Structure 1
Amino acid sequence: MPGRDGLRRLEPVRSPSVTDQVFEALHRQILSLDLAPGTKVSEIDVARAFEVSRQPVRDAFFRLSQLGFLEIRPQRATVITRISETAVLRARFVRTALELACLKAAIQTISEPDIRELERLLADQEAAVAADDRPGFHALDDEFHRRMCEMAGQGHVWSLIRDQKAHMDRVRFLSLASSAQTAFADHVDLVDALRRKDAAGAEAILGTHLGRIAAVLQAIRGEHPEYFDD
């Protein structure tokens, strides 16, 4: 509430709870395929591994099940869900709509310092591709797209995109051996279009970039059919 000087009192920063920490750790392991689709998990084993009680694990499991990554079955083993092609394509649709809206806003206000920051990210991405650092490239890819949302003045949108794109991420991670160079090249072209304030060109590049998941999905399904649902 406002103080006597008219300024709003700062809200205390909330530290991540134990449930948050367990959720984030499991979420990362699921998206990176460290916990592969079809893997059985138990509250007892996870609690023991993280040295926590079962309640925060139970809460984290529930959150993951709500996102579609865990199948909790009474009296049966809890398993990491297999990849749903329908969920991936729905996530692609939502992500594309949100990111294109952010891009349209960003191209109106993007500054030279913004461009230089994106170029620094490109340099880091190029190094990750050269080193075949797939987790590193995946993180830098996310950072690139997150910063574009922030440059549009819509940083809050990234949390929505992050939740939606999670179903894409398992496919993306599996494809990085062959697709990281292509993704990097798309980013280079996108920054060039932003520098020139070429709105139509930037939107076309981003649409193509995010749309590649459809072709990648079929290739990955052919290579890893055991990871996909029927």
Structure 2
Amino acid sequence: MKLYGSDDIEEVGPMTVKASTESVTQRVERQLRSDILTLALPPGSRLSEQDIGERYGSSRQPGREALIALSKSRLVEILPQRGAVIAKISIAKLMQAAFVREAIETAVIRSACSSFHFHARTRLEDCLKAQERAVESSDRAEFRRYDDLFHRTLADGAGLMMAWTVVEDLKAHIDRACCLSLGKGDALRKLLAEHKAIVAALDARDSHAAEAAMKSHLSELLQDLPTLEAAHPDIFE
């Protein structure tokens, strides 16, 4: 397995962005996006620039810019003279996003099996250990944080961070449904086992097994989707 030199990999830091490195507008957009994706602000909720300012401690302008940015991702719908409403989870958009994500991430893991940076492999192990702790404490938010970092690190280690940038944008249509599915029984433990299977195939340089493990992992949500939609008809469309 080829290992990149130390200058060939983008170091992945914490998932949160330090306040000193982002503007107020960036912070508000990040926090609002997070609250939408984690369903802290559920689909159908009305938002105004004033509401956002009060919630995140900003003036109206950052709230306005955050709404415009998130409307481009179809997470909010701006209503002229009436503020905005958080979009419902679109089954059609989710299915398309899942299709594209699978195509990209299976290609990433296939490439990773032939060329992966050893520092990224260490970070994968850190992700798995953090997720094990999250499973034991039933901390879904922490598990999801390291789920994102796990998939990002796979792309980073393979030298394909542009692929992750595309996936990260697409995931907005998937993440909210994921939040619902993580509340089911032993969902966290099952997802952790799938991550370990992906890493085992990566370590064995078995691209066929790695692709199969990734496809199985990414298909979990699609299998749960009919049940989730039936249980939460008010937030899907």
Aligned partner of 1:183 among 191, 196, 200: 191
The residue identity in structure 2 corresponding to 1:83 is: I
1:116-195 matches, cutoff 5 A: 116-178=122-184, 179-195=187-203
Change (3 A) 1:51 1:122: closer
Q: Work out whether 1:227 is the aligned partner of 2:235.
A: yes
**Matches of 1:31 and 1:111, distance apart in 2:** 31
Give the drift of 1:146: 0.4
Q: Tell me the secondary structure at the aligned position of residue 100 of structure 2.
A: helix
| Deviation per residue, 1:124-168 (Å, 9 max, x gap) | 111101111000000011111000001101123222211101110
Residue aligning to 2:223 = 215
2-structure distance, mates of 1:113, 1:60: 35
TM-score (norm 2): 0.86
Q: How many residues align?
A: 216
Most deviating of 100-109 and 69-78: 69-78
1:95 shift after superposition = 1.1
What secondary structure, in the 3-state scheme, does the structure 1 residue paired with 2:85 have?
strand
Gaps of 5+ in 1: 1-13
Write the letter of the residue equivalent to 2:55: A
Task: Indicate whether 1:49 and 2:76 are aligned.
Answer: no
Residues 154, 40 of structure 1: CA spacing in aligned structure 2 closer, same or farther, 3 A cutoff?
Answer: same
Pick one of 204, 208, 228 that aligns with 1:196. Answer: 204
Matched, 1:83 2:89: yes
Counterparts of 1:42 and 1:98, CA distance in 2: 36
Deviation at 1:222, TM superposition (A): 1.5
In the alignment, which residue of structure 1 is the partner of 2:17? none
Query: 1:123 and 1:57 mapped to 2: Cα distance?
Result: 37
Separation in 1 of the partners of 2:123 and 2:24?
34
Query: Equivalent residue for 2:80?
Result: 74
Looking at structure 2, the residues matched to 154 and 42 of structure 1 have their Cα atoms a distance apart, in angstroms, of 38
Task: Determine the structure 1 residue equivalent to 2:109.
Answer: 103
Structure 2: segments with no counterpart, 5+ residues = 1-19
Question: Letter of the aligned partner of 1:214 in structure 2?
Answer: L
Supply the distance in 2 between the matched residues of 1:62 and 1:110 (Cα, whole angstroms).
38
